[in-house]
Homo-oligomer: A and B are copies of this chain.
Amino acid sequence: MVVSASAGNGASGSAARRASEENMRSMVDKVSAFIFDCDGVIWRGDSVIDGVPETLDMLRAMDKRLVFVTNNSTKSRAGYLGKFTSLGLNVSAEEIYSSSYAAAAYLESIDFPTDKKVYVVGEVGIQEELDLKGIAHIGGPADADKKISLKPGFALPHDPDVGAVVVGFDRNINYFKIQTAQLCISENPGCLFIATNLDAKTHLTDAQEWAGNGAMVGAIKGAVKRDPIVVGKPAEFMLANIATQFGLHRNQICMVGDRLDTDILFGQQGGLSTMLVLSGVTTEAALLHPENGIHPDFYMSQLSDLLSIKAAPVAV
């Protein structure tokens, strides 16, 4: 799969290079951790990408720290583990960094007051992660079927103890939730407005593109006229929190992703090494197009190209 590299040129901003075996070996030697985007890198829809389990096993055998990031907030880390296991991937919940976890970790990082609670627009993943951090919460799936019966003079009550509204993807978004979130953010002094991510599209099924959490956040933003704090990709918080949690320096980390404008940009803005795989949404033609201004350090067809460094004969 690996095509010979063009003449080495490490200058920042240069066009991306297809990784040679030497490039890959040098990268793997240099970094102590890999952050992987999942969809398009580890799996496509419900199928693991060819050679991924062996590649992860090889990196583990080399004592590399592996972190799997996802902007999916509908599941907790523990909930998301099932997807890895079902695909035959040997991963622990602690290696998964979901945007639902990021929301809870953000609140923990700012010492969210214990007498305050969170109003959740989103599904069970956010609730489970808040529970694990001991943060009180209301809303979420319990408000899925709530409707507002209007009569003259009616005011929808809202809890004055809500100190943060966390908005994640929510297939049961409704006006009750939008209005409650709006009231908490607008009327509770200091109430935070936190978005797990702003992704326009999400992958409910592979058959079409589905409106993502950009829709839920957009609804509340359109009513409160305020920008949210974003904790998932490509927010700086997620990267800073991963580095702190695993005791890593930025220059020890390589970001591996399939999207230039999210994964690779996220890595570069955070001071990481970057590798693009062509097994997801980005084609080689798009990467090499003169109008593309985002260049990973290296690119390869798919993650398992890395296996070539294992197969290479050892010098005697």
Q: Which residues of A contact B (CB under 8 A)?
A: 46, 148, 150-156, 170-175, 178-179, 182-183, 186, 198, 200-201, 204-225
Contact = CB atoms under 8 A, between A and B. Distances in A.
Given A175-B171, A211-B178, A218-B219, A225 B205 contact: no
A47 B171 CA distance: 39
A148 B219 CA distance: 19
B152 A46 contact: yes
For A219, A221, A222, which residue has the most chain B Cβ atoms within 10 angstroms?
Answer: A222
Given A175-B173, A224-B200, A153 B218 contact: no
A96 to B, nearest CB: 22
B172 A198 contact: no
For A156, A218, A225, which residue has the most chain B Cβ atoms within 10 angstroms?
Answer: A218
A2 to B, nearest CB: 33
Contacts of A225: 200, 214
Contacts of A212: 223
Contacts of A221: 218, 222
A209 B154 CA distance: 11
A123 to B, nearest CB: 12
B206 A153 contact: yes
Nearest to A217: B222
Contacts of A170: 175
A28 B206 CA distance: 63
A156 B224 CA distance: 30
Nearest to A169: B175
Q: How many copies make up the complex?
A: 2
25 contacts: A46-B152, A148-B171, A150-B204, A150-B205, A151-B205, A154-B205, A155-B207, A156-B208, A170-B175, A172-B174, A172-B175, A173-B178, A174-B174, A182-B209, A182-B211, A183-B208, A186-B209, A200-B224, A212-B223, A214-B225, A217-B222, A218-B219, A218-B222, A219-B219, A221-B222
Given A173-B174, A175-B211, A179-B211, 15 more contacts: A154-B207, A155-B207, A173-B219, A182-B210, A198-B222, A200-B222, A200-B225, A211-B222, A211-B223, A212-B223, A215-B219, A215-B220, A218-B219, A218-B221, A219-B219
A200 B173 contact: no
Given A173-B173, A173-B178, A174-B174, A215 B222 contact: yes
A153 B205 contact: yes
Contact of A223 (B172, B201, B224): B201
Given A175-B171, A175-B173, A207-B155, A223 B219 contact: no
Contact of A214 (B154, B207, B217, B222): B222
Nearest to A209: B186
A32 B109 CA distance: 62
A174 B144 CA distance: 10
Nearest to A157: B208
